[in-house]
Every structure is written in structure tokens, then in C-alpha cells.
Structure 1
Amino acid sequence: MKGLSVAVVIGVLLLGFSGTGGAGPLDQAGYAKVVTCSACHGFNGNSRVEAVPILAGMSPAYFRKAIEDYATGKRISPEMEPFAKQVKALGVDEVATFFAAQRRDPASPRPDRAGVERGRAAAAQCAPCHGAEGQGDPAKLVPRIAGQPAVYLRNQLVLFKADKRSPGDEALTKMKAVLKAVPDDTLADLAAYFSSLR
């Protein structure tokens, strides 16, 4: 009888993973190609590492551009370059489509409330491109920054300001020019604000 009970439990668990009641990430086209990404970016693109961006819900066009830039060295990252080349070899369109279909589920670390309010006051300069709520503009390859980890956002802002993020990319000239005038302390505040948005 005990053996039967164990068998029933195992059967129920396997049924739960089969996706018959509703497709989960494992059932979706492209999942087999994103396993490599999941080690850092999370099972379904929802990173729980503050320095690593969330890929869930990302615009496919922006994802493809990011992968291309990493793979060619236009966007410098010794960590990402080999993975980007692998994603290109596997099929970037399927991977981009998979992550775009995932529900965004940002982590909720305790926010720096004072920093969020200071960032809110400074965020108007970001709105013309990224939108008032940080939603981005997929048609113009402007990423959604709302809900991204604050540490990741701050790190990217620092790289932009120092012209170490995609140096030579003319499409980013405006953003780099805007950030030149932003005090270093304000970069962390902007990151805290946009990270707090959902």
C-alpha cells in the first residue's frame, strides 16, 4: 500500500509538469535553447540577481539587437559575448520570442524610499525616450527599464556616462550626452526610481 501511495504521488507530480492543464515555460517553443541563459537570468527570464537584467517580457527586436551587439563586441562584456554567440548559433528569434512571452515578475527588494523620490524628481529627462513610466519604445529599440534590478540599472548608467557602454554607437549619443550632466549620486536615485516601477 505504501508503494502505491508513493506511485500515486509521483504520478501527480509528473502530471503537474506535463503541461496538459496549461503550458508552462518548459512546454513553450524555444525553451530548450534558453537553458544556458537561465543560469543567470532565471528559469523564465526573471532574474533574481541584482546585477543581472530581467529578460521576461523584453521586446524581441531589442533582445535581438542586444545579442548581436554582445556577439560582435559592439557592447563589451567578456561574460556575455560567448553566450550571445551561442544564442545566435541556436536561433536568436526563437529565444527572443520565448522571453517576450514570459510574464515579468520583478523581485521586490526593500526599496530606498528616499532614493526613489529623488529619482522621481530627476526622471523627467529620461521620459522623452523611455516614457514617463519607463516602458520604453520597442519600435525605436528603446528598452523597458521599469522594474529592472536597481543595481543593474545603476551599473548601466555609470557605463553610459563614462562612454564604456557600446562606445561608438551613434544611436546612444543622445543618452550619453544627457547623462554627462547628471551628478553621479543621481544615477543611483534614477535606478532606484525606475526599478520601483511595475
Structure 2
Amino acid sequence: MKRTVSMSAVAAAAVLALSSTANAQVFTPSYQAPVPMNDLGVYLSDSPGDLTLEGIWRSGPVGLRVGYVDAEPDGLISVGGEVRSPIATSAPIDVAFTAGAQGLIGDVDALGLQAGLSIGKRFVNPGLALTPYIHPRIALIDGLLQDDDWDTELLAELGLDAEFSQNLIFRLSVGLSDQTPDVGVGLAWRR
């Protein structure tokens, strides 16, 4: 019993240590279901500024993103890259390791690095495939102009990929942590 309590205390302390407040929110929704695809998409989200418009290109395990963040006073440019690698499991769910880097360029420069797991399941019906997933991850964030310290954050989002035809995908993301956008939506075209 003492060992269980001490492990619980260690886990609780680790969560508290990792959940410090970051200098700036860097990340837009990941839109990373555990099933990799080759696609090109356009996305809208409510953060890190008032509204973010972003384009994401993916080819197999790698992806690149660029966008415009409507933030005071003059807006920001968001750029980033990502990787996603499926993990073979015997469970009836899909799991992928994810990692990414994203930066904000403008009046407030910031950089973030993140790694985590995308966990979900792809359900296929004629004319429609749905992939609900959860994407928890750990991030390091640096507000480059504020200070030289890196802050650690726990990030998580719920996502849904809805494939309506062989080449059209609707994506939805709902943030579950303070440092993730509340909502993001987009359309992608599979190549």
C-alpha cells in the first residue's frame, strides 16, 4: 500500500510540475489522427490569436504547416513541421507517435516543440469513414523575446476525421487543456 501511495504522490508531483503556465501559446490544433495520410488542407482555429488560418501539407510520416495568426498588433506568421509514425499494437485501436515543432514570427516570437501519442480507431462504412481520436502530448515552449526559459506544458485534444469521399476529409479538433485552442475545423484533400 505504501508503494502505491508513494507512486501516486510522484505522479501527482510530476503533473503539477509539468503544468506550469507558458509565456505564449504557440500551437494550433494538430489535426493528427493516428492514421497517416497524404493530403493538403486548409484549417481555421480560435488560437493562438483571435483567429488562425493555416495550410497543412502531409506526405506519409511528415507534414509542413504555415499560417496567419490574427493577433494584436500586426498579426503573426505561424510555421511548423511534424512527424507521425504508427505504432504496431495487438489492441483493436490505432496508435501513432507524433512530434512537431512550431514557431510564431512577428511582434511576439515564440517556439514550441512537442511529442505525444495519437490514439483512436478508424471506422469504415460505404461512403464514410470516421476516425475519432485523442492526442495527448508534452510540449516545451519558449517565448523567445520574453526570457530564455523553456516552459513545459501538457497538451491534449479530441479530434475527428470524417472522410466523405475518397479524397475529401473534414477535420475537427476540440482542445482539452488551457494551452490548446478551443476549437479548430478544416477540409483536406487526399492526394
Range into which the TM-score falls when normalised by the shorter chain = under 0.3
- Determine which structure has the larger strand proportion and give its number: 2
Bigger Rg, which one: 1
TM-score of the superposed pair, with normalisation by structure 1: 0.24
